């Protein structure tokens, strides 16, 4: 996202949402990025924002990205060691620590 932000002279911050509406109902946000199945949640967030007198967020819906095996890339699969963050199969690895690149792999 950094190159895109730089190209448009914009700033961004990625934050984890811990509640269903997370921090997205607070002031200071312009957009929310969701998957197709979480679009309804983003629409609920905008409803709450309107009720609080805030502008609605731009809802950006992103399609799923598929791994080499044709199944969706997900954080759960990465943590389990099934795939790396690029969707490449990692059958020789298991668990979160195994998804980290080895020291001799070099920079991406």
The DSSP code for 46 is H
Distance of CA 23 to the CA centre of its chain: 15
Q: Return the pLDDT at 93.
A: 65
Largest CA distance in the chain: 53
Residues 58 and 100: their CA atoms lie apart, in Å, by 33
Residues 17 and 65: their CA atoms lie apart, in Å, by 21
pLDDT tens column, 91-103: 776 555 544 544 3
CA dihedral angle for residue 89, residue 94, residue 96, residue 100, rounded to 10 degrees:
-60
Homologous superfamily, domain 1-63: HUPs (3.40.50.620)
Question: What is the arithmetic mean of pLDDT over 7-26?
Answer: 82
pLDDT tens column, 44-81: 999 999 999 999 999 999 999 999 999 999 889 999 89
Look up residue 16 and give its two tokens. Answer: 């984890």
Residue 59 contacts residue 43 (beta carbons within 8 Å): yes
What is this structure's pTM? Answer: 0.57
**Where do the CATH 3.40.50.620 domains begin and end in the chain?**
1-63
Q: Return the pLDDT at 105.
A: 39
């Amino acid at each position: 996202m950094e190159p895109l932000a730089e190209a448009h002279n914009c700033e961004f911050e990625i934050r984890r949402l811990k509640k269903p509406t997370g921090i997205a109902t607070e002031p200071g946000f312009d957009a929310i990025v969701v998957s197709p199945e979480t679009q309804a949640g983003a629409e609920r967030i905008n409803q709450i924002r309107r009720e609080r007198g805030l502008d609605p967020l731009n809802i950006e819906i992103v399609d799923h990205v598929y791994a080499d095996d044709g199944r969706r890339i997900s954080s759960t699969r990465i943590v389990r060691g099934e795939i790396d963050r690029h969707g490449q199969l990692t059958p020789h690895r298991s668990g979160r620590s195994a998804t980290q690149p080895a020291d001799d792999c070099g920079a991406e």
